[in-house]
C-alpha cells in the first residue's frame, strides 16, 4: 500500500538558523505517530510546512502522491490534511456550535454534506463524539482550558480530515483531562483518522502512539516504536537527558 503522506528532504532555514535539515519519513493511513524533541527542535515548523503556513527551502510533501507544497492552507485542508494549534485561540463572541460551524464552509465539507441540515447534523455528531454536546450553546469565552482543547479538535474534525496534526494536545491538562483526550484520539483513529502528534508529555504520548519520530536541532535522529525509542542512547542523550526509569517510561 502506498503511503498516505510522504515527507521528502524537507529543509528550512530562518536567516542563519537551520530549523529543519533533510527531514524524511512516510505515514500510512490509520497510523498514530508521535513527534518529539526539545523546545526549538523544529517540530512546529514541520507542522507549519505540512499545513501550508510556512514554505520550506527544499524538499517535497506528497499527500496521496500529490505534491502539496506551494498550496494555500485552505487548499491543503480541502485535500484532507488539517491541524490544531499549540495555543488555542477561540472565536470571541461565538457559541460553541457557531465556532465549530465555521470550517463547514470548506469545499471538502460541503462536498460531503451539501445541504445545510446535513452539515448541522454533522456538527452535532462531532460535538457529541468529542464530548462537547452539553456545551453546544455555551459562549466560547466560558469554556475551561480542557474544553478549549476539545473545541480546537472539533473545529479540525469539522473539515472531515484524513490526516490530523495535533500540536501539544495535552498542554496544561490534568491527568484526568489528558486521559479523556487520549481516549478520544484513539476513538478517532479507530474510525480511520490518521494522526501526527507533537507532545512533550512523553509518558502519556508513548502509551498513545504506534511510532515515534525524534527531531533534534532540526534533524531526525531516531524513528521507531515507543519501546525502542525510549531505550535509544541518541534520544536519551539528545532529548531526554535523564534515565528512562526517572521519566516513568520503563
Q: Please report, for the chain, the start and end positions of each structural domain, with discontinuous segments joined by +.
A: 1-80+161-250, 90-160
Q: Residue 76 and residue 156: Cα distance in Å, rounded? A: 13
The tens digit of pLDDT for each residue in 34-87 reads: 999 988 899 999 999 999 999 999 999 999 999 999 999 999 999 999 999 888
Q: What is the pLDDT of residue 98?
A: 87
The tens digit of pLDDT for each residue in 160-189 reads: 899 999 999 998 889 988 998 999 999 999
Q: What is the pLDDT of residue 128?
A: 87
Give the pLDDT mean for 240-244: 54
Residues 6+ apart with CB under 8 A from 232: 214, 222, 224
* Range scoring the smallest mean pLDDT among 27-31, 112-116, 172-176, 195-199: 112-116
Q: What is the pTM of this model?
A: 0.88
Q: Residue 99 and residue 35: Cα distance in Å, rounded? A: 28
User: Quick one: cell of 17?
Assistant: 538558523
**Three-class secondary structure of residue 19 per DSSP:** strand
Q: What is the pLDDT of residue 106?
A: 55
Q: Residue 163 and residue 66: Cα distance in Å, rounded? A: 14
DSSP 8-state secondary structure symbol assigned to residue 241? -
Give the best-scoring range by mean pLDDT among 21-30, 31-40, 148-157.
Answer: 21-30
248 vs 124, residue with greater confidence: 124
Cα–Cα distances in Å, from 13 out to 32, 54, 189, 198, 239? 28, 11, 33, 20, 21
* Nearest partner of 220 among 61, 4, 10, judged by Cα: 10
Q: Residue 139 and residue 60: Cα distance in Å, rounded? A: 41
* Nearest partner of 222 among 50, 67, 12, 25, judged by Cα: 25
Q: What is the pLDDT of residue 2?
A: 84
Give the pLDDT mean for 198-210: 93
- Inter-residue contact 131 to 122 (CB < 8 Å): no
Instruction: Classify strands 163-167 and 81-83 as parallel, antiparallel or unpaired.
Output: parallel
The percent of residues in the chain predicted with pLDDT above 70, rounded, is 88
User: What are the φ and ψ backbone dihedral angles of 128, each rounded to 5 degrees?
Assistant: -70, -45
Q: Residue 163 and residue 68: Cα distance in Å, rounded? A: 14
**pLDDT band at residue 105 using 50, 70 and 90 as cut-offs:** low
Q: What is the pLDDT of residue 39?
A: 85
- Inter-residue contact 77 to 106 (CB < 8 Å): yes
Asked if the model's pLDDT at residue 238 lies above 90, the reply is no
CATH architecture of 1-80+161-250: 3-Layer(aba) Sandwich (3.40)
Asked if the model's pLDDT at residue 243 lies above 70, the reply is no
Asked if the model's pLDDT at residue 28 lies above 80, the reply is yes
Amino acid at each position: 500500500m502506498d503511503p498516505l503522506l510522504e515527507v521528502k528532504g524537507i529543509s528550512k532555514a530562518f536567516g542563519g538558523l537551520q530549523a529543519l535539515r533533510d527531514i524524511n519519513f512516510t505515514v500510512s493511513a490509520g497510523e498514530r505517530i508521535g513527534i518529539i524533541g526539545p523546545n526549538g527542535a523544529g517540530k512546529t515548523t514541520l507542522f507549519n510546512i505540512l499545513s501550508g503556513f510556512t514554505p520550506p527551502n527544499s524538499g517535497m510533501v506528497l499527500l496521496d502522491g500529490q505534491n502539496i507544497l506551494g498550496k494555500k492552507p485552505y487548499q491543503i485542508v480541502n485535500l484532507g490534511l488539517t491541524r490544531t494549534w499549540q495555543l488555542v485561540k477561540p472565536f470571541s463572541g461565538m457559541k460553541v456550535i457557531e465556532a465549530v460551524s465555521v470550517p463547514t464552509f470548506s469545499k471538502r465539507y460541503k462536498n460531503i454534506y451539501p445541504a445545510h441540515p446535513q452539515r448541522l447534523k454533522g456538527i452535532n455528531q462531532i460535538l457529541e463524539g468529542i464530548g462537547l454536546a452539553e456545551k453546544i450553546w455555551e459562549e466560547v469565552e466560558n469554556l475551561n482550558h480542557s474544553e478549549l482543547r476539545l473545541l480546537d479538535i472539533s473545529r479540525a474534525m469539522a473539515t472531515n480530515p484524513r490526516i490530523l496534526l495535533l500540536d501539544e494536545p495535552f498542554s496544561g491538562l490534568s491527568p484526568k483531562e489528558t486521559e479523556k483526550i487520549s481516549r478520544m484520539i484513539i476513538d478517532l483513529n479507530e474510525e480511520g483518522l490518521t494522526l501526527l502528534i507533537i507532545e512533550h508529555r512523553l509518558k502519556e504520548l508513548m502509551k498513545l502512539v504506534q511510532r515515534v519520530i525524534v527531531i533534534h536541532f532540526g534533524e531526525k535522529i531516531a524513528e521507531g516504536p515507543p519501546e525502542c525509542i525510549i531505550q535509544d542512547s541518541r534520544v536519551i542523550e539528545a532529548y531526554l537527558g535523564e534515565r528512562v526509569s526517572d521519566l516513568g517510561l520503563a
